[in-house]
A and B are shown apart, each in its own frame.
Chain A
Amino acid sequence: MESPAKHEVEENDPRPPFAATVSRVAVAQICLTVGYAAAEPAALRSLADIGARFVQALARSGASVAAAHGRTDANLLDLVRAMEELSLPRGFDGAFDPTRPLLGSSILRELMAFVRSVEEIPFPRPIRRESVRASVSPSFAQMGRETPFGHVPRWLPCFPEAWERSRREGKGRGDGREGEAKREMTKGVRLLGEGERVLPADRERVWFRLEYCGGSCGERKTKRISEEVEERGGKRR
């Protein structure tokens, strides 16, 4: 469920989200390869939206199958099951047999044939990856460390560095003054690091307005432009 605040923000923003724009371009490319020469904007938007919903439905179904089997990560079998589930309305070869092997599913065979038959057309531009994954700290098992407490399982993310350090120092010296100073320092560094990393994917546009005000006021014209740019720059900051 989306929070109402987020919804409001999306409503106020006239531009479509970045992901929707990217999927529209990809869908337009697919339409071109199919044989279309052009597309109505509304039709293209709808098809792109439906494509995105298809991916999300597939992912949700796959994730729920994985969760039903007691796993957090989905695997190929979950994905095949999700794909079969999504193609049930149209039906597929071998759907009548409940004991069919999942890896020999006709849907996978169709996908193989599709990949063989379709020309490879990559997306025209490289896309900047959102650093969502980077912000997730690695688990104790991934770092190869032991957990400080017995009741903390190893698959949980590591404790913050500063916390562990202060704990160690607190134990060694009794007073945590130095540890506190260090903690603040590391906090500062981390904030700086995050500031560098988390660049908004879509930034505010800057535009210039040229106004004609007669031949004699060339200076005023340039001044006005620079003022406007400054004003916008100030707003952005």
Chain B
Amino acid sequence: MNSSLGEGRHDDDSALTEFLASLMDYTPTIPDELVEHYLSRSGFHCPDLRLTRLVAVAAQKFISEVASDALQHCKARQAAPVKDKSKQPKDKRLVLTMEDLSKALREYGVNLKHQEYFADSPSTGMDPSSREE
């Protein structure tokens, strides 16, 4: 029993070493410079590039998890049957909205609220297809 546990741990260690080495060649979507900027602002000091990349990968994973949760909310909303046909949106494109984002973030303990009549850009209130970035 003990020996098998030890072997398992050995496998874990070698996988971790391999993973950390592979981070040297991996380019995360969040650039190193940005992560380093935020790390140095928060007092985190480490000369190892692999750790910077690990932080970048962790942040990327977090953001993509939140985004895919929001995407599920968006798809569910679009798939829901609408009684009034005139209210059915014509545009079936997947757009990241504050509504979906705040629903997705609630699960992560982030309370995000959007003001009811907040105009975030001059084009707010126009045709929804024309006010995307």
Enumerate chain A interface residues (CB-CB to B < 8 A).
Answer: 19, 22-23, 26-31, 33-47, 50-52, 54-56, 58-60, 62-63, 72-76, 79, 83, 89-90, 101, 103-104, 108, 110-112, 114-115, 118, 120-123, 127-130, 132
Contact = CB atoms under 8 A, between A and B. Distances in A.
Interface residues of B, number: 66
B133 A28 contact: yes
B133 A22 contact: no
Contacts of B43: 59-60, 63
A36 B46 CA distance: 35
Contacts, number: 196
Contacts of A41: 120-121, 131-133
Contact of B101 (A43, A103, A130): A43
A236 B92 CA distance: 48
Interface string B97-131: 11011000101111010100010110000000001
B66 A55 contact: no
A210 B18 CA distance: 60
The 8 closest A-B CB pairs, nearest first, are A59-B44, A59-B42, A39-B96, A38-B132, A42-B120, A122-B27, A123-B31, A89-B109
Contact of A46 (B15, B34, B55, B112): B112
Judged by DSSP, the binding face of B is: helix
A73 B95 contact: no
B42 A56 contact: yes
A122 B9 contact: no
Given A34-B71, A55-B35, 7 more contacts: A36-B71, A38-B93, A39-B132, A40-B98, A50-B66, A50-B112, A112-B15
A47 B105 CA distance: 9
Given A26-B31, A38-B93, A129-B33, A111 B114 contact: no
A58 B58 contact: yes
B59 to A, nearest CB: 5
A47 B67 contact: yes
